[in-house]
Structure 1
Amino acid sequence: MKKYLLLIAPFGLTLTACEQQPEGEPVVRTELGEPVASSEPVEELVPTQAANPASACQPVTFEGVSLTHCIADPELHRISTGLAPASGENFGTIEAWAAGRNEGDIAFVMNGGMYDDALRPIGYYVQDRDRLAELNRADGDGNFFLKPNGVFFGTGGRWQLIETDTFLRTIGTRPEFGTQSGPMLVINGNLHPEIQDDGPSKALRNGVGVASDGKAHFVISNAPLSFGQLARFFRDELEVPNALFLDGNISSLWDPATGRMDSRRVGPLLVVEKVPGAEQ
């Protein structure tokens, strides 16, 4: 089992309102191009062992930053959405959501979008074909509203990621799962026009992209990085045509194969489960 060393990295920061955060949770929330902002130290997770072949998630380093790269394969996995409990012990965490579940069925779980004070999605959200939040095309401040934003969605083993306006125009059938977030990191092979190559805003961040072979690539940083670095990893290393920013500083991962269970407060979740009988 991979062990993780928890390092506390202090940063001098200013709080912004770009991503929603429950009351009482002073977690970093930054906007593109702004200096890093937080009233709390940033936790840095550093893998201390080599890759685990039993896991769908593997450690990588890009431009000197430690990342974890998880792959969902349509032949091996199914993706669904979930919501972290808004009350009870450890409320708002993946750990609380996972209580009582068979971890042998789970490949990995990652936070999957931005949320309000009640831990509810602020954008389009579908769970088991039930639309719990409508498409959000409003203007506003913060990362979610930096247009274009996008929707990650799918049914069965077919997963897609497209801009919000394109989703509205072209998708007529409700998918089994869906989550809206923003901004888009990569759009048709190009970086989002507002993303700097390496802006001053650095934080723990995560995102998702869908490759031409249908696999979904989930990436979470183990140390602060810029939007530009995360976007370039998706474009240049993973070569996905479209990638979506999911959230920052609350970015969390549960990987049962390595024992990693991040404890930050989250809202929507993307759950990657193993297909019964498929050779993992």
Structure 2
Amino acid sequence: MDLDRLTAIDVHTHAEIGRDGHGSLSPELLGASAAYFKSQSPRQPGIDEIAAYYRERRMAAVVFTVDAEHATGHPRIPNDEIAEDCARHPDTLIPFASIDPHKGRAGVREARRLVERHRVRGFKFHPSLQGFSPDDPMAFPLYEAIEELGVPALFHTGQTGIGAGVAGGGGVRLRYSNPMLVDEVAARFPALRIILAHPSFPWQDEALAVAVHKPLVHIDLSGWSPKYFPPQLIRYASTLLRDKVLFGSDYPVLTPDRWLADFAALDIRDEVRPLILKDNAARLLGLADDRKETPS
């Protein structure tokens, strides 16, 4: 991956359709998410299409799905499939995996295999959709493995469009996505690199507090147009958290084109913009280290 060529690194994009056309969510939950985000099209792009989209924009993209088989009963898209498909596009795509913490020791073994054999760069958790509290000891062996492997763990935080408007929210419980629950994870696993995904409505101040207090906790700005960011998030992104805030879009529900256009209008210091758009992610994901190790 040629970092000098890239204009940005999007740390939050979704692969929601498998090779066989199988979706990562049930039609009911996927439809609720599309309605919540006012998606222009219910069609989900495949990984090759995601790669072409980002390559055209000279961007890299972190790609993942969510394994929520225990809570939803819906079969996941295999992590191996996503990693193998991303490997066809190493100039543009960065594979993350998702493992349901309810899978216990089998999940730990899978995490190690994915990093060691497929060079997966991190792991995505969606506590509300996966039906677990981040501070549940059930998940600790998986966190420990991810910490030892030296890759980040990305946690959905705040409200979610998945299940919105469905009776009972589709069984999705918002309280599991309070960033204060991840504070316990950061305290117990101090070498684990953590990303709190999204402006964490209604817990934005909690997310900022955790990121300021815990050295390896970062925040990605995905899922919201920047014009809706709360003022304290903008202020911290430009000052105290300038080295710990990351560009993310939530593609395909929010495009990087729209995100970047609205980001340009924010009151962010000029010298901080390249940190948010690329440099912080390159360092966190180890891409800068890869460049140093590549022979000239």
The TM-score with structure 1 as length reference comes to 0.27
Q: 1 or 2, which has the higher strand percentage?
A: 1
| Higher RCO (C-alpha 8 Å, min separation 6) | 1
Q: Point out the structure with the larger helix share.
A: 2
